Amino acid sequence: MSATLTEHDAAPRTPGPRPPKPDAPAARGPKKRKFPFAPWMLLAPSIILLVVMVVYPTILMFVTSFTDLEIKNKMLGTPANFVGFDNYVEVFTKSDFPAVLVRSLTLMVILTVLIVGGGMLLALLMLRLTKGWRLLVSVGLLLAWAMPPLSATVVFGWIFDTDYGVVNWLLNTITGTQDFRGHGWLADPLSFFMVLIIIVVWQGIPFAAFTLYAGLGQVPDEVLEASQLDGANAWQRFRLIVMPYLRNVVTAVIVLETIWNLRIFTQVYALQQQGGLASETNVLGTYLFRQGLGEFGVTAAIGVFMVILLMGISYYNVRSSLKEEEA
């Protein structure tokens, strides 16, 4: 793989049909003073978008996290007070914050493992399927992916409904008892998270499966065939041939899934509306949302913490994938 990449990367760096070196210094001299107008113009739309959508809100969030900004300030036009690290102290000394953090991180790990693992299995399956079956599986995956998370959560909430849910009915029918009549799936935090994991994994797998499937298409058949002739079994081929080729794709999927699964909000919030105890099922996103009405300072402090946390988690993965590309 590294060989392929080097060739690829190297290609644009070669001077191409340009004049030979002796000319270059003379030509570069006058050009240097001129502002490279065209490249910057081409970059402008993305830079403007990034500044408006990412840089400005992030800076504002950092600033807000050091103030006691309230809705009142905004409505009455009065400036907020600078309170230093008070908001951060308040968040970290809150008794329930460590539990929320641990819950979020655990959930993130479980979800990412299940989604990437399940996605990989599905991608491998799609590779073996005949055209018709592959189409069927793709459509099924796309439908799951295209469903708005809120609608999906509401429907799953009904499936697991305490009084009239189909799961309770099914379990009663299978066991031939009435043991599951009125069983509240969301009331117990553990089974709440079981339902939540089902929803999120169900919706998360299609993206991972499609991306990994696209990556699997890049693995040259000759290499696989050669290794098979050399006596490598299926697991060895997957681990030693396919995985190195897929490494960048897998890293990208893992980084994205990690971020998505840590800042998960819609599914948790919607499921909490249908049952369960919010205080025992909050993750970072919903915890932030459920802070006092319009307490922007504290919520911004939690937001800043989440940004730093996510940057820390993604740092290793992004760095290793960049290194890989440079190698």
Q: At 49, is the secondary structure helix, strand, or coil?
A: helix
| Selected binder of another protein within 106, 177, 279, 320 (CB under 8 A) | 279
Give the dihedral sign, CA 141/146/152/153.
positive
Q: Does 293 sit near another protein (CB under 8 A)?
A: yes
Contact 168, 162 (CB under 8 A): yes
Torsion of CA 113, 117, 122, 125, to 10 degrees: -170
Our finding on whether 278 is near another protein (CB under 8 A) is: yes
Q: Binding residue for another protein (CB under 8 A) from 204, 276, 285, 297?
A: 276
Residue with tokens 């469903």: 147
Closest CA to 240 of 257, 223, 218: 223
Segment 30 to 89, residues that bind another protein, using CB under 8 A: 37-38, 40-42, 44-45, 48-49, 52, 70-72, 74-76
Answer yes or no whether residue 181 interacts with another protein by CB under 8 A: yes
Q: Is 174 in the site for another protein (CB under 8 A)?
A: no
* Residue 231 sits in the site that holds another protein (CB under 8 A): no
Binding footprint of another protein, residue count (CB under 8 A): 37
CA neighbor of 155 nearest in space, from 109, 88, 96, 203: 203
Spatial CA neighbour of 304 closest among 87, 65, 101, 54: 65
197-226 positions binding another protein, by CB under 8 A: none
The piece of 10-18, 25-33, 177-185, 215-223 that touches another protein (CB under 8 A) is 177-185
If one asks whether residue 244 binds another protein (CB under 8 A), the answer comes out as: no
Of residues 306, 227, 220, 318, the one with CA closest to residue 260: 306
The amino acid at 86:
D
Give me the least distance between CB of 6 and another protein, in Å please: 29
In degrees to the nearest 10, what's the CA dihedral of 101, 105, 108, 114? -140
Q: Does 155 bind another protein (CB under 8 A)?
A: no
In the bound state with another protein, the residue whose beta carbon lies nearer, of 218 and 273, is 273
Binding residues (CB under 8 A) for another protein: these are: 37-38, 40-42, 44-45, 48-49, 52, 70-72, 74-76, 161-164, 178, 181-182, 184, 186-187, 273, 275-279, 289-290, 292-294
